[in-house]
Chains A and B, each alone.
Chain A
Amino acid sequence: GAVVSQHPSRVICKSGTSVKIECRSLDFQATTMFWYRQFPKQSLMLMATSNEGSKATYEQGVEKDKFLINHASLTLSTLTVTSAHPEDSSFYICSARISHHRFQETQYFGPGTRLLVL
Chain B
Amino acid sequence: AQSVTQPDIHITVSEGASLELRCNYSYGATPYLFWYVQSPGQGLQLLLKYFSGDTLVQGIKGFEAEFKRSQSSFNLRKPSVHWSDAAEYFCAVGAEVEYGNKLVFGAGTILRVKS
B29 vs chain A, min Cβ distance (A): 9
Contact in complex: A43, B41 (CB < 8 Å): no
Residues of A near B100 (CB, < 8 A) are 32, 97, 99, 103, 105
Majority secondary structure of chain A interface residues (helix, strand, loop or mixed): strand
Kindly state whether residue A8 has any CB partner on chain B within 8 Å: no
Which residues in B have some Cβ–Cβ distance to A below 8 Å? 32, 34, 36, 41-46, 49, 51-52, 90, 94, 96, 99-103, 105-108
A17 at the interface (CB under 8 A from B): no
Which of A61-69, A80-88, A108-116 is the interface stretch?
A108-116
B90 touches A44 (CB 8 A): yes
Chain A, Cβ-Cβ closest to B91: A43
Give, as a whole number of angstroms, the nearest-CB distance from B3 to chain A. 11
Size of A's binding interface in residues, CB under 8 A: 27
**B104 to A, closest residue via Cβ:** A46
**Chain B residues near A51 (CB-CB < 8 A):** 99
Task: Report if A73 contacts B (CB, 8 A).
Answer: no
Considering only residues 5-46 of chain A, those with a C-beta below 8 Å from chain B are 6, 32, 34, 42-44, 46
Q: Interface residues of B: mostly helix, strand, loop or mixed?
A: strand
What is the bound-complex CA distance between A44 and B94, given in angstroms?
14
Q: A43-B107, A103-B32 are in contact. Are A109 and B45 (CB under 8 A)?
A: yes
- B102 surroundings in chain A (CB, below 8 A): 46, 49
Chain B residues with CB under 8 Å of A49's CB are: 99, 102
Which of A4, A43, A93 has the most chain B CB atoms inside 10 A of its CB? A43
Q: A112, B43: Cβ atoms under 8 Å?
A: yes
Taking a contact as CB atoms under 8 Å apart, the answer to whether B41 and A106 are in contact is: no
Set A4, A32, A93, A105: member contacting B94, Cβ < 8 A: A105
Set of chain B residues within 8 Å of A46, measured between Cβ atoms: 102-103
**Smallest CB separation, A48 vs chain B (Å):** 11
12 inter-chain pairs at a CB distance below 8 angstroms, sorted by A residue, are A43-B90, A43-B106, A95-B103, A103-B101, A104-B52, A105-B101, A106-B34, A107-B34, A107-B103, A109-B44, A109-B46, A112-B41
